[in-house]
Amino acid sequence: MHVLILGGTTEGRRLAELLDGDGTPGLRVTSSLAGRVAGPRLPVGEVRVGGFGGVAGLTEWLRAHHVDVLIDATHPFAETISFHAAEAAAGAHVPLLALRRPGWVPEAGDKWHMVDSLPEAAQLLPRLGRRIFLTTGRMGLAAFAGPESDGLWFLSRSVDPPEPGTPTPARTELLLDRGPFSLEGERELLRSHRIDVLVTKDSGGAATAPKLTAAREAGIPVVVVRRPPVPEGVRVVTDPQEAARAVREL
């Protein structure tokens, strides 16, 4: 059996470990990374880096490499590849699983403002504060470069810097860092930069959750971008162990 994991996440790496160490004779695991992050953390086993060339390219890859199971373990906000995976799996007649970590849940004391997109988050900011901690990644920075951001200051944290020429807010400080992040570190970051609004995507997971606790303790409002939907009809599993069991069943 050949399993293709569309990865790049902690869950994707853990699933590759589980399947690689499974000991099942004839089980081959390939992890595919998009290649958008410099120096990614590589999973065990076979790894390919780069895109497939859309739905047609992924469909052909599944057929040419005799893939028996496709697992979408990409980031919850990697909407395009998830829909490409659903179409390609259907076209190649390959079973598809979506591995999605559970989203975050607000707790008592949280001041969350739920929105459906980054532009909607940008429109909301002037009513909430002036010093913004932006944790939505370098790909979404341009959404905050419009006139509604005039007078606002941004601390933008991402693994890699934005591409040259990417529109950015006029007053932006870049912070290049990779999680997991500690609660004490997030508390100090909010304090030292005098942050009064946090913006994040509902990516879920423990690696970047301490910022939510730090914001709650400081009484800071949090703008949370909702996840895009999983393609209709795709079976969703919530942890690598469940995904590994599903592969064994197949």
Amino acid at 15: L
Q: How far apart are CA 94 and CA 59, in angstroms?
A: 9
112-225 shares the fold of 2-102+228-249: yes
Is residue 44 within 8 A of residue 73, CB to CB? The reply is no
> What are residue 199's DSSP bridge partners?
134, 223
Please report the pLDDT score of residue 240 as a whole number.
95
The Cβ-side half-sphere exposure at 122, using a 13 Å CA radius, reads: 19
Structure confidence at residue 249 (pLDDT): 86
| Whether the Cβ atoms of residue 131 and residue 156 lie closer than 8 Å to each other | no
Which CATH number is correct for 112-225, 3.40.630.10, 3.90.1150.10, 3.40.50.300, 3.40.50.720?
3.40.50.720
Phi-psi region for residue 141, left (φ > 0), alpha (ψ -120 to 50) or beta? Answer: alpha
Delimit the domains of the chain by residue range: 2-102+228-249, 112-225
Which CATH number is correct for 2-102+228-249, 3.40.630.30, 3.90.76.10, 3.40.30.10, 3.40.50.720?
3.40.50.720
| pLDDT value for 117 | 96
pLDDT in 10s for each residue of the chain, 250 residues: 999 999 988 899 999 999 987 767 789 999 999 877 767 788 998 999 999 999 999 999 999 999 999 999 999 998 899 999 999 999 999 999 999 999 999 999 999 999 999 999 999 999 999 999 999 988 889 999 999 999 999 999 998 899 899 999 999 999 999 889 999 999 999 999 999 999 999 999 888 899 999 999 999 999 999 999 999 999 999 999 999 999 988 8
**Quick one: pLDDT at residue 26?**
84
Residue 190 structure tokens: 């909010």
